[in-house]
Chains A and B, each alone.
Chain A
Amino acid sequence: MGDFAAASRAAVELLASGDPKLLEIVALSLQVSLSAALIASVIGLPLGAALAVSRFPGRRTLVVVTNALMGLPPVVVGLVVYLLLSRAGPLGELGLLFTPQAMVIAQSILVLPIVVALTRQAAEDAWAEYRDLLHSLGAAPLRSAVTLLWDIRHSLLTTVLAGFGRAAAEVGAVMIVGGNIDGVTRVMTTAIALETSKGDLPLALGLGTVLISVVVAVNAVAYLLREAAMRRYG
């Protein structure tokens, strides 16, 4: 119990201190993971809807594969992106390794299957309900996909938040492609891993508490925005 008491104290002290270094780390975490969730959504939402309304050979295989990729191991994604971005790799010229950009790329890859799979499921359920209506209106597949996305927009928020949660929580990918460089690529999860390896367990757990609070805050804001939007648009 002493450990947890010490950790709660550490968390409170961290938050109360308003330590600029901590704020910087929290800001970078948010920046990287929100960007990854956004990029994955821009690509994944249309893909998921398209997958829901289209019929082609191999579609079922693709659905299974997308679902499976939700469990992509972050450390593997990190390693692949590392090899791609390394100076010795095909994209080495860009000089992106050990930068926040590299971290966004890795996390976008991690989040994309989650967005595609969850969107596909939600859109498919709605499709079952509206298919006949949309057919009778003579809507083309593209038009149908857009209509479906709009119709399920409220549940898509949860999809995007699931993607963000995945990104904000992972350490394996950002550790490898970011390098946990102080002041440049250190985010909450890599800072927690670092303090754990220094044996400062209360500080590590305190940072963990801060991370969870930040994720809760993001979700609360999203929820409030959604409520406001529903009140206004119905």
Chain B
Amino acid sequence: MVLTAAFQSALVVGLAATLTTATVIAAEPPAERYITVASTTSTENSGLFGHILPLFEERTGIKVRVVALGTGQALDVGRRGDADVVFVHDRAAEERFVAEGHGVDRRDVMYNDFVLVGPRLDPAGVAGMSDITAALRAIRDASAPFVSRGDRSGTHAAELRLWQEAGVDIGTVEGSWYRQTGAGMGASLNTAAAMDAYLLSDRGTWIAFRNRDDLAILVEGDDRLFNQYGVMMVNPERHPQVKRADAQAFMDWLVSPEGQAAIAAYRIDGDQLFFPDATT
């Protein structure tokens, strides 16, 4: 009796383990219809996708799997053919991506802006400035701690462009005030909050960010802080596995009146995070 029970339990455990493995390893790939989108941490962390994707899925039955990375990394994923669509925010890099034949059919989708965030105490005295380059120079002059993404993201690219326009050769900066985290927007915000540092953030992530501590927006509104998001398909000529029709449907929906309205409707505490600006 005892032995039978023991055998039975051993059998059950063994069976359960085998089944688990079988379902994970040998399972049929899920039959659901989906596309993979390589996008940025700002669109995912801000909650935008959580708001608009269910609407798209309901309309078309196509699931969207989002892999959220920095813009540079997201473009790499597209370049390797590991996504169907790339949805990022670094126009120069996107145009290069298309020119090199990695992507096709790039379109503007929406914009928001970057903001200079820093400690309320504001050791560099930049609060309220309307010229972002003057603010950056003031931070440099004060050697006030500045956190840079340092990860080839769209925000990092924008930051480097602004330093250049400010006439600061950030590559040769000496001293410890300029600190690269090599991490995503949220992780860098956590770092800046912990060390009372300045940093450039996209407004969407900032609005959705919960651990602000003593940080606040100090400079905003300069035209050079404009932040354009674009979408493009990974070149199906080069990567035949790209789900052309479904990818096209997603891109068409994003720039359609319905998609654009969905983007505009996403708010946190009444603040609109992204402003649709598709031209079609």
Q: Using CB atoms and an 8 Å cutoff, list the residues of chain A in contact with chain B.
A: 31-32, 34-35, 38-39, 86-89, 92, 95, 97-101, 104, 179-182, 184, 194, 196-201, 225, 228-229, 232-233
Point out the residues of chain A lying under 8 angstroms from B6, CB to CB. Answer: 228-229, 232-233
Query: Are B241 and A95 in touch, CB under 8 angstroms?
Result: yes
**CA of A32 to CA of B66, assembled, Å:** 20
Give a binary string over B221-248; 1 marks a CB under 8 Å from any A CB, 0 the rest: 0000000000000000001010000000
**CA of A225 to CA of B2, assembled, Å:** 14
**CA of A182 to CA of B190, assembled, Å:** 23
**CA of A32 to CA of B23, assembled, Å:** 10
7 contacts between A and B (CB under 8 A): A35-B21, A38-B17, A100-B24, A104-B24, A197-B41, A197-B186, A200-B210
Give a binary string over B166-199; 1 marks a CB under 8 Å from any A CB, 0 the rest: 0000000000000000011111011001000000
Query: Are B65 and A201 in touch, CB under 8 angstroms?
Result: no
Query: Are A88 and B80 in touch, CB under 8 angstroms?
Result: yes
Point out the residues of chain B lying under 8 angstroms from A228, CB to CB. Answer: 6, 9
Looking at the assembled complex, report how far the CB atom of B182 sits from the nearest CB atom of chain A, in whole angstroms: 13
| B81 lies within 8 A of chain A by Cβ | yes
Point out the residues of chain B lying under 8 angstroms from A179, CB to CB. Answer: 65, 67
* Chain A residue at minimal CB-CB distance from B7: A232
Interface size class of B (residues with CB under 8 A): 35 or more
Point out the residues of chain A lying under 8 angstroms from B50, CB to CB. Answer: 182
A35-B25, A39-B21, A199-B190 given as contacts; is B185 within 8 A of A184 (CB)?
no
A181-B66, A199-B210 given as contacts; is B17 within 8 A of A92 (CB)?
no
**CA of A34 to CA of B16, assembled, Å:** 11
Query: Are B25 and A104 in touch, CB under 8 angstroms?
Result: yes
- 3 nearest CB pairs, A to B: A197-B186, A199-B211, A87-B81
Query: Are B24 and A92 in touch, CB under 8 angstroms?
Result: no
Looking at the assembled complex, report how far the CB atom of B197 sits from the nearest CB atom of chain A, in whole angstroms: 15
Contact partner of B211 (CB less than 8 A), chosen from A182, A201, A225, is A201
* Chain B residue at minimal CB-CB distance from A184: B65
**CA of A100 to CA of B65, assembled, Å:** 13
**CA of A23 to CA of B224, assembled, Å:** 45
**Total cross-chain contacts (CB, 8 A):** 96
Query: Are B211 and A97 in touch, CB under 8 angstroms?
Result: no
Looking at the assembled complex, report how far the CB atom of A34 sits from the nearest CB atom of chain B, in whole angstroms: 6
Point out the residues of chain B lying under 8 angstroms from A100, CB to CB. Answer: 24
Looking at the assembled complex, report how far the CB atom of A6 sits from the nearest CB atom of chain B, in whole angstroms: 11
Point out the residues of chain B lying under 8 angstroms from A225, CB to CB. Answer: 9, 13
Query: Are A197 and B67 in touch, CB under 8 angstroms?
Result: no
Point out the residues of chain B lying under 8 angstroms from A32, CB to CB. Answer: 24
Point out the residues of chain B lying under 8 angstroms from A184, CB to CB. Answer: 65
Looking at the assembled complex, report how far the CB atom of A175 sits from the nearest CB atom of chain B, in whole angstroms: 10
* Chain A residue at minimal CB-CB distance from B32: A184
Query: Are A200 and B81 in touch, CB under 8 angstroms?
Result: no
Give a binary string over B197-210; 1 marks a CB under 8 Å from any A CB, 0 the rest: 00000000000111
Point out the residues of chain B lying under 8 angstroms from A181, CB to CB. Answer: 36, 65-67
Looking at the assembled complex, report how far the CB atom of A30 sits from the nearest CB atom of chain B, in whole angstroms: 8
Contact partner of B239 (CB less than 8 A), chosen from A87, A101, A199, is A87
| B255 lies within 8 A of chain A by Cβ | no
Point out the residues of chain B lying under 8 angstroms from A101, CB to CB. Answer: 24-25, 27
8 A Cβ contacts from B1-51 to A: 2-3, 5-6, 9-10, 13, 17, 20-21, 23-25, 27, 29, 36, 41, 45, 49-50
**CA of A209 to CA of B189, assembled, Å:** 24
**CA of A197 to CA of B27, assembled, Å:** 32
**CA of A229 to CA of B10, assembled, Å:** 9
Looking at the assembled complex, report how far the CB atom of B47 sits from the nearest CB atom of chain A, in whole angstroms: 9
Point out the residues of chain B lying under 8 angstroms from A98, CB to CB. Answer: 36, 65, 67, 82
**CA of A197 to CA of B82, assembled, Å:** 24
Point out the residues of chain A lying under 8 angstroms from B184, CB to CB. Answer: 197
Looking at the assembled complex, report how far the CB atom of A113 sits from the nearest CB atom of chain B, in whole angstroms: 20
Q: A34-B20, A98-B65, A232-B2 are in contact. List 15 more A-B contacts (CB 8 A).
A: A31-B20, A31-B23, A31-B24, A35-B21, A86-B82, A87-B80, A95-B29, A98-B82, A100-B24, A197-B41, A197-B185, A199-B190, A201-B210, A201-B211, A233-B6
Point out the residues of chain A lying under 8 angstroms from B41, CB to CB. Answer: 197
Contact partner of B241 (CB less than 8 A), chosen from A87, A182, A200, is A87
